[in-house]
Chains A and B, each alone.
Chain A
Amino acid sequence: MNRLTADQARQLAARVVALTQADAAETLVISADDSLTRFADNRIHQNVTETDTRVSVRAVLGNRQGVASTNRLDDESLAGCCADAVAAASAAPADPEFPGLPSPVPVQTPVRAAEAAAGFGPEQRAEVALGIVRQCSSRLIQAAGGVASTLQTVAIGNSLGVDVGMETTSVRATVLAQSDRGGSGWASFFGPDPAGLVADALGDEAATLAQRSEYPADLEPGSYTVVLAPEAVADIVDFLGYLGFSARSFEEGRSFLSGNLEKRIMSELVTISDNACAPESFGLVFDYEGMPKRRVPLIENGVATSVVTDSYWAARTGRENTGHALPAPNAFGPMTLDLMMGAGDSTLDEIIGSVERGVYVTRFHYVNAEDPVPVTLTGMTRDGTFLIEDGALATPLKNQRFTQGAVAALNAVKGVTSERAFFDVMLGSALVPGLLIDGWEFTGQTG
């Protein structure tokens, strides 16, 4: 079985909508080829591929709804799936707040599937792995990481006439370089096709950082000026989206935006939007109800601006539908999947050059939230933490634990880099710069 084209997926969605014996119905089809070559200890140790197509049906009876899904595509299984969705809807109590399925809105679907990603097979992935490994093994450094490609088709149809479909591609590569003298470095790539992926450069970046970070020293816990490389910033922005940018958490008083719209809550250097339609984006331009995504300004020059919605939360709060539905049934509420943080006008090197004494962080590890409203995060630094002295990276440091409110940190931003990069995060992707932040709390370090 092969991955469906956008047209095939739309036709399947329409067929399943028609099969569903309910007042209204919606079908989501996700068809994907996922492949990943993983390496560790300078050799490929896992190499996998998967082809799957899932069909999910939301049946509506009056104001009651139920969902069922399957990856069996024969007629009998699809009919059974539709019947399960109808049975779920008929068991549900009446829900007066359910506004019904959304009506169609025109969606412009750009061509975002890169042909080069389709030809990126196991031999090509191995070649990238080899280029990375050579950069490391020649320096007696151990490389670990992965080279992955995803080819995905998503289509949504409903009985009110929603009929959208789109193919997307993504390629991801990561490199962890480790020396036996405690050095650790990291580099990553995330883009729509393998064109921008230069194996030697990626391997060199990680290996150089590993060499540079050998024999890491202790740091006293306390408050420090930090320069966070873009990958570290991606984790912070990801948690802002998870906890705060949704109309649901906003309405429930659980968001840092609750009661703060139109107020300045972050540094005026901070501008964050959700924008799947930006030309550099490579994800879906509609949400999982088939509604067009639009650019939503969330923080503009530090001022809280708005939140994202889906059909349910738009109706419930009297806002416009911004196209941020997750697949039904969605117990999380609308979510940002394409966060973008505005770039500044200094390079990362210039920003490091401006710091007399501080800490440079390549990336974080295992970040989690301890308190939702201030978005208090704890986590560790990883793969290249350095003291900054007199405007330059100095002594490498052991991995540090931080316990820090993300909103407070973004209110203490003193500089934003001109360089930005895309990262594959918990919620979709994020395009972010590096940041200079004052008063960052390090609360411990690794043993």
Chain B
Amino acid sequence: MIRQDYNRIDPKRRSAIDYKKKQFAVPTYKQQDYPHRLSLYETPPTAEITLEQFEQWAIDRLRVLAEIEACSFRNKTPAETAAHVTPLLQKWLPLHSNTSSSVGSQDENLKLERQKDHYSHFILRLAFSSTEDLRRRFARIESALFKLRFQNDDAKERQTFVESLQFDWEVVSEEEKRALGADLLNATPGMKRQDAEEAGWFKVDFEMVAELVEGRRVFLKAGKAYVPVREQMSMVLAGFNARLDKGLELAARALPRLDEDDRLTPILVHLSKNFATPDSTLSDSDSALPGAPINPSSIDPLSQHFPLCMRNLQMTLRKNSHLKHFGRLQYTLFLKGIGLTLEDCLIFWRQAFKLITDDTFNKEYRYNIRHAYGDVGGDAIRRGRGYSPFSCQKILTEHPPGSGESHGCPYRHFSVDNLTTLLQTTGVSDRDVLRGVKEDVEKKRFHIACNRVFEWAHKGDIKRVKEDDSWGAAELDTIVHPNTYFKRSYLLKTGGAAAVKGDEMEI
């Protein structure tokens, strides 16, 4: 997550920076006008702003982006995200519609808001263009922000904005509509027969509506997608994303030239540091439990403290004396995270894989485990600490399990029936909890389901630490990492009063 560190740059460093600076694009000294509230950010800013504005505007935008990412990280629904982010937008990055002023887009306040939005976007675009990972995350969050604003836009102004975009949209003729008949209707979920006949349809290259294609929510023929007017959102979003991706690549190529500009570089570096990678923050000291008996033979008893995903892996491992590729990876990194040493981990897997010879084990698996611990490997950059234990986000979104695989998140990747059975096997018998989990899962709130089970299983202990005030609210915040789940569970059950430092890690 983006750390909540919005300090401005160290004033001592600032002294090296000119008071005023020229913009990074070729200056034309032309004030841009902003006829629409929304923008696809196609034109870089060209007018001068002060360095203070440069930095403050970027920081304000960063606050909003951080909150949006936090929402997606916690699997909030679009409605919940909108509810959470809208007041923050009002505060840090307001953007009013033309109708809010009697003089429309000529209003000076509106102009200023739009300028701030425009400039802050471009500053962050530059700050986060340095690596592929940052670019991807920035694009994802900006896209979510744009979507949010687009949906809340005044309907009429939105239409004017869309028309101004000049996308390559061909209108489907009445004749073709009739010829396609039921196909159009059947390909477009939620479309009623009458609407299908009356509504306008566009024909666009399928690449433009990737999102609709992926969900099989559009009719395709010979490379063209047949899109009803109401799906314009998706197309505009695709246009937004395409432009942003391209813009970020261009910005990445512009960065080396900026290196020579020592006024901007420190600010940009500072900004991008506040945008740390989610998985990199679980360090050994965060997750290790001093004094806890963590060794190969204690994994079975300790697994009562594991979250369901890891519990399932442990049970599957014991049942089959084997785990598949991603299961081994997910579990090894988790075990590393709880403090199992490399030597012990090797012993653990060797004993667990009962059906194979030492020779096979050494040949096929030993190296892999050492690699996960960073003991060997060609990936020199990550050597030293090896790979980080997977976060919930990673487990939920990457590499869903295929046939015969047991990794992933049971709340997400199991059918409700199998999930219920698994929960009951692990001792979750309370009917209200099971019903709650079922509802969470149906709403795709997998974190909430997992936290619900945690809270139920530890309700006595949670009550105790709350009452004796030994644990603060932050230490009982929503769990978003399997290793946090383990550590918190272990400390609660063993009466540990130590603060769970690891919980502060990412939010």
A binds B: no
